C-alpha cells in the first residue's frame, strides 16, 4: 500500500515514571504504518477504553482511506461530490487553515497528480487548487478533474482525536502514536532520526504533539511522494514540527518540506507552532 512517509522515525519513551494502577501498551498497524497507544489508569477502565480507541481509530482510517473503492473518499473523488461528515468537515477546516498559512504549499487536491503519475500520464498541475473546493450545505463539491487526498494529515487527525478521547475520559498520562505523536501529560522523550544523518536530536513532549515528513520516504513516477502543488521540488531531507495540535502539525510538516526557511518561520508563527526542526540534504540540522 502506498503510504506518505515514515523515514523520519520518532521513538518515544517516558522521561518521568508516573505512578500507575495499570499501564497498557498496544501496538498494531493502521494508515499503512506502525501505530501504538500507551495508557495509564484503572485496569478495568483501560481495557474498556482501549477497545473504544481502537474502534475510533479504525473508523477514521475507513473514512479517509483511498484504497477502499466503496469508501467515502473513493466515492467523493469518483463522483466529484459527497456528504460532509463531521470528520471530513473538521479535517477540511484544518486543511484550509494550513493552506492559507503556507501560501498554498499544503493542498489536499494533490491526488489528481498522484493518479496521473501512477498511470504514467503527464499530470495536469492546474487541477491542484484547494480554493476551488466548495464546502457548504452539508456537502463537498470538487471542480471537474479534481481529487482529494488526506494522506498528508489523516494520521495527525487520528492522533488528535484519540488524545481528545483520552482527555475526556480523565486520563492524565498517555501517548498516541499514529505515525505522528500526541502526548497527554508527560514529559515524553522522542529521538529524532534522519534517513541520511541518523539520530540528530532528542525532543521532549508534554501535552504537545509532533509530526514528521521526509520527501525521500517513497517515490511515485520518479518523483517524491510529497508533491509540490505548484510543480516545484522538496527542499529538505526531513522536517519535524512540534505544536499543540497533531492535525495541524501533520499538515504543516508536509507543506514545510517544500518551503524556504523564512517562509516556513512565518507560517509556523501564524499557525501557533512551538518548534520546527529541519534537516537539509547534507544532513545539517536547523531549528526554527
Distance, in Å, from the CA atom of 278 to the CA atom of 265, rounded to the nearest integer, reads 11
How deeply is 192 buried, as exposed, middle or buried, from its count of CB atoms within 10 A (0-12, 13-18, 19+)? buried
pLDDT of residue 221: 56
More confident residue, 282 or 20: 282
- Measured in whole angstroms, the distance separating CA 97 from the mean position of its chain's CA atoms is 14
Domain that holds residue 29: 1-288
Per-residue pLDDT tens for 100-123?
999 999 999 999 988 888 888 888
Residue 4: pLDDT over 60: no
Least confident segment among 7-11, 74-78, 133-137, 179-183: 7-11
How deeply is 16 buried, as exposed, middle or buried, from its count of CB atoms within 10 A (0-12, 13-18, 19+)? exposed
Per-residue pLDDT tens for 193-223?
777 777 888 999 999 999 998 887 665 555 6
CATH at 123: 3.10.520.10
Residue 3: pLDDT over 60: no
Going by C-beta distance under 8 Å and a sequence separation of 6 or more, which residues neighbour residue 117? 123, 220, 221, 223, 227
- The mean pLDDT of the chain is 86
Q: How many domains, in total, are found in the chain?
A: 1
More confident residue, 88 or 193: 88
Residue 185: pLDDT over 80: yes
Total number of residues shown for the chain:
288
Distance, in Å, from the CA atom of 4 to the CA atom of 117, rounded to the nearest integer, reads 15
The CA-atom distances, in angstroms, between 37 and each of 51, 163, 178 are 11, 10, 8
DSSP annotation of 249 = H
Asked if residues 157 and 254 have their Cβ atoms less than 8 Å apart, the reply is no
Q: Which H or E run includes 98?
A: helix 86-101
Asked if residues 88 and 69 have their Cβ atoms less than 8 Å apart, the reply is no
pTM for the whole thing?
A: 0.88
Task: Output the nine-digit C-alpha cell for 12.
Answer: 518515544
Task: Output the nine-digit C-alpha cell for 209.
Answer: 504533539
When pLDDT is averaged across residues 84-95 and rounded to a whole number, the result is 95
pLDDT of residue 146: 95
pLDDT of residue 218: 61
pLDDT of residue 217: 61
pLDDT of residue 215: 83
Amino acid at each position: 500500500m502506498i503510504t506518505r512517509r515514515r523515514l523520519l522515525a520518532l521513538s518515544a519513551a517516558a522521561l518521568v515514571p508516573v505512578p500507575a494502577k495499570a499501564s497498557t501498551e498496544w501496538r498494531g498497524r493502521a494508515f499503512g504504518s506502525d501505530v501504538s497507544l500507551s495508557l495509564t489508569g484503572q485496569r478495568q477502565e483501560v481495557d474498556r477504553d482501549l477497545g473504544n480507541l481502537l474502534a475510533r481509530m479504525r473508523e477514521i482510517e475507513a473514512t479517509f482511506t483511498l484504497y477502499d473503492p466503496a469508501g467515502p473518499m473513493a466515492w467523493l473523488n469518483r463522483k466529484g461530490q459527497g456528504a460532509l461528515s463531521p470528520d471530513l468537515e473538521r479535517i477540511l477546516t484544518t486543511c484550509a487553515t494550513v493552506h492559507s498559512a503556507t501560501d498554498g504549499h499544503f493542498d489536499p487536491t494533490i491526488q489528481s497528480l498522484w493518479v496521473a503519475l501512477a498511470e504514467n500520464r503527464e499530470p495536469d498541475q492546474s487541477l491542484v487548487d484547494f480554493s476551488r473546493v466548495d464546502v457548504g450545505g452539508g456537502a463537498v463539491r470538487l471542480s471537474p478533474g479534481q481529487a482529494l487526498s488526506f494522506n498528508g494529515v489523516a494520521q495527525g487527525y487520528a492522533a488528535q482525536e484519540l488524545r481528545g478521547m483520552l482527555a475526556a475520559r480523565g486520563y492524565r498520562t498517555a501517548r498516541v502514536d499514529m505515525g505522528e505523536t500526541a502526548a497527554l501529560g508527560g514529559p515524553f522523550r522522542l529521538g529524532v532520526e534522519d534517513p541520511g544523518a541518523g539520530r540528530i536530536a532528542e525532543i521532549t513532549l508534554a501535552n504537545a504533539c509532533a509530526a514528521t515528513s521526509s520527501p525521500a520516504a517513497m517515490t511515485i513516477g520518479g518523483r517524491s511522494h510529497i508533491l509540490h502543488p505548484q510543480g516545484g521540488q522538496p527542499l529538505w531531507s526531513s522536517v519535524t514540527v512540534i505544536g499543540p495540535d497533531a492535525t495541524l502539525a501533520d499538515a504543516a510538516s508536509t507543506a514545510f518540506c517544500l518551503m524556504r526557511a523564512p517562509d516556513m518561520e512565518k507560517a509556523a508563527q501564524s499557525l501557533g507552532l512551538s518548534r520546527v526542526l529541519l534537516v537539509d540534504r547534507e544532513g545539517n540540522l536547523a531549528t526554527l
